[in-house]
Chains A and B, each alone.
Chain A
Amino acid sequence: MNCRKVSRWLSAYIEGDLLPHQAVRIEDHLRNCAQCREKVTDLRLIIQTAGELDRQQPGPYFLNRLLCAINAKRQLLETLMGWRGKMVLSGTSFVVAAIVTFMAIGPQMTYMPMAGNPSGDPAKMAIAPVEKQTDSPVQYRGFPVPNEALQRDMALIESLKTDTLKTDSIFLSNRFIQQVEQKR
């Protein structure tokens, strides 16, 4: 037996946990190996000292603290099982039931027929996507003229081209203004 094998069995040897023939083999090795003998001595000392180490203890009020915690838990259970608890539980269950009902029925309510959507078809409920306004190329005093205003003006100009009466009246009024300015 070499030192490596012996070291694996030393704890068992110290505790008398080996079979007699195994113990004899270990003892044979120990008789001739001072290093392993010393290891046995050290291990015995470690085991002995470990058993003598000061035992750590909980604080003096530990038992009171524990019993208070148990009582508090018991009181909580009793409260939950008592009439107050039942009230709280029934209130809580009512709120939960209301939420569940809303979650179940709520989405269907949007499909119900209503004003503006008599069919109740959700596709018709959808709001048309808003078209992105393109920036107007025409500006007045640095501000872009809205497209709607521009289109309205263009339509007016087109109508003026065809409507001679209006054109004449504008022409006349312009001439009138020019005359007034000249008189000034």
Chain B
Amino acid sequence: MDKLDDKQLFAKVAADDEQAFTQFVGRYKNRLFNFVARIIQEKETAEDILQDTFLRVYNQRKNYSPDFAVSTWVFTIALNLVRSELRKRKLRRYMSLDFLKEESDIEIADPRNPEPGKLKPILEKAIKGLPEEYRLAFVLCDIERLPYEEIAEIMRVPVGTVKSRINRARSMLREKLLPYKELNYELSKGLPLVIGLY
């Protein structure tokens, strides 16, 4: 069953093969969780959304249209649930007036003595600070490595919009990381580091 592609495997799921469903969940759970958790930024809620996604997939297994890639369909369901959760959060945030609190952009523990080779946590934090739609596009493209066309279908926007959002997201991340570079931070691994141009 490992050798089956997504569509073949899902055809078995649609035929009520429980083993195939377990296999399908095993194939997608980490990818989906990584995507959902990066957008939701809360592990428990992300796991609930992941469970709801698979429940919906299971309930709608007979309605799946093979015209779409299975991954597109599954990611679209997950994205709908993520957006619904974000809407609820916005409302809660508005009701609780939490939006009045200002969050610091990126915390620098000790800017004069940064630890070398720790770009990953800084980038993680910078990604969290991106606006919602840019974050979605960036995570799907540069972390999940999905093609532009698939991202466009998942996000229900034209491919050009996806490209523009990804380009903008990368530029925003670069702007957020610039202070580290100015502090003679070792951004690259072996790449030439240019200082003083900014």
Contact = CB atoms under 8 A, between A and B. Distances in A.
Interface string A40-73: 0111111101111111111100110111011001
A51 B143 contact: yes
A10 B173 CA distance: 14
A127 B47 CA distance: 63
B170 A46 contact: yes
Contacts of A63: 22, 25-26, 29
Nearest to A59: B47
A3 interface: no
A11 B120 contact: no
B98 to A, nearest CB: 24
Interface string B40-76: 0001001100110011001000000000000000000
Contact of B51 (A12, A47, A66): A66
A49 B119 CA distance: 8
Contacts, number: 96
A11 B29 contact: no
**Interface SS of chain B:** helix
A62 B29 contact: yes
A44 B187 CA distance: 11
Nearest to A37: B194
A154 B134 CA distance: 92
Contacts of A41: 188, 191-192, 194
A70 B188 contact: no
B192 A62 contact: no
A34 interface: yes
B115 interface: no
B119 A66 contact: no
A65 B47 CA distance: 10
A50 B50 contact: no
A40 B56 CA distance: 42
B145 A10 contact: no
A11 B171 CA distance: 9
B194 A56 contact: no
Contacts of A42: 174, 177, 181, 187
Interface of B: 22, 25-26, 29-30, 33-34, 37-38, 43, 46-47, 50-51, 54-55, 58, 119-120, 123-124, 127, 138, 142-143, 145, 163, 166-167, 170-171, 173-174, 177, 181, 187-188, 191-192, 194, 197
Given A8-B167, A45-B187, A53-B124, 17 more contacts: A11-B170, A12-B167, A41-B191, A45-B188, A46-B123, A46-B170, A46-B173, A46-B174, A50-B143, A56-B33, A56-B37, A58-B29, A58-B50, A66-B51, A66-B54, A69-B51, A70-B58
20 contacts: A35-B197, A38-B194, A41-B191, A41-B192, A41-B194, A43-B174, A45-B187, A46-B173, A50-B123, A55-B30, A57-B30, A58-B30, A58-B33, A58-B46, A58-B47, A62-B33, A62-B50, A62-B51, A63-B22, A70-B55
